Amino acid sequence: MTRIELEKMITMGEVISKLDISGEDLSGADFAGALFEGVSFRGCNLSGVGFRESVLVGCDFSDADLSAGDLRHVSVVKCSLQGAVLAGAMLIDSSIAESDLSGSSLCGADLRFASIARSRLTAANLSRANLGNAVIAETDTAGIDLSHTRLEKTTLMKADLCASNLAGMSAEMSLLIEAKLTGQDLRGKSLVLCQFLGADVSGCDLSGAILTQCNFKDANLSGTNLDEVKAEQVLFIGAKLTGASLRKAVLTQSLFIEADLTEAVLSDAAMTQCNLMNARCVRSRFTGSELSYADFSHADLTRADFSKAGLFRAVLHRVRDEGTVFTDRSAALGDDPDRAEAEEWPARH
């Protein structure tokens, strides 16, 4: 079937079904608003083709060239795009579900407001792509290339980024919920206002990163290098930071409530007004840190080291401090009898 015949059928509103046009040169064709069902475009030259607002169901685009194509508002369901080239393609507000894009190239593609769900992006190349407001959920992202990509208000649900290329990537106001980033090099990256809820960031190098107002609630940061990070007003509530290094980190007004800081190193950190209520700080090192107005109420400070730490009006209410080292704790606030009585009241009544 020729390009002209296809375009005529689409203009007449006909459904293009069960057609094999593999290997054809259809570059520059206008297929806007079409409904393709079970059509094979395998190996086709579809560069610059307009698929705007089309519906593609069960189609095969394996190894097809869709570079610079217009796929705005397109709906892709149960299609194969293995090895397809979509470099520079416009996929704004597109919806891709239950499809295989493994090994595909979306380098420089515009994926703003796009949704990719229950699909495969294994080893896909999204370098320099625009993922603003995009959502990638329940999708296999192992080995995905996100180099020089900017994530702005992007959502990545349970994404496996352990083996991904993240060189030059930056993110802002993005959700990386339960993402896996184990061992990644994220040095100096700007990740302002990003949400890492339940994420695995263990063993990562985040030294010098900008993490202002990020959320690491229930995240795993064991062994993570957070030296010299700029992390004011960050949520580490319930986070696991065992063995993490936060030397010279700026952590002003951050929350470590119920966090596990066992054997973490926070030497020379700026921690004014931090909240570490019920935190586990066993053998943690706070040497030389500024902890004015910090709240350690009910924290476990067993064998922690506070040598030369600034503790002006730091709250040490009912802490466990067996073997804890303090150079001078005279400026700190100890147990509050009235508060202790209030805390015990429910047990007595």
Read off the pLDDT of each residue in 169-179 and give the average, rounded to a whole number: 96
pLDDT tens across 9-35, in order? 998 889 999 999 999 999 999 999 999
Q: What is the pLDDT of residue 240?
A: 99
**Does 347 score more than 80 pLDDT?**
no
- Mention every residue, 6+ apart, whose C-beta is less than 8 A from residue 288: 267, 268, 307, 308, 309
Looking at residue 72, the DSSP 8-state letter turns out to be: T
Gyration radius of the chain over CA positions? 27
Q: Which domains does the chain have, with CATH numbers?
A: 11-179 (2.160.20.80), 181-349 (2.160.20.80)
Averaged pLDDT of the chain: 97
Strand partners, 172: 152
**Does 3 score more than 90 pLDDT?**
no
Percent of the chain at pLDDT above 70?
A: 100
H, E, C per residue of 185-218: ECCCCECCCCECCCCECCCCECCCCECCCCECCC
**Does 265 score more than 70 pLDDT?**
yes
- Sign of the alpha-carbon torsion through 283, 284, 286, 292: negative
Residue 29 near residue 54 (C-beta atoms within 8 A) = no
**Cα 101-103-107 angle, rounded to 5 deg:** 85
**Does 67 score more than 80 pLDDT?**
yes
- Mention every residue, 6+ apart, whose C-beta is less than 8 A from residue 112: 92, 93, 130, 131, 132, 133, 134
Torsion, Cα 116 122 125 127, to 10 degrees, reads 70
Confidence of residue 349 (pLDDT cuts 50, 70, 90): low
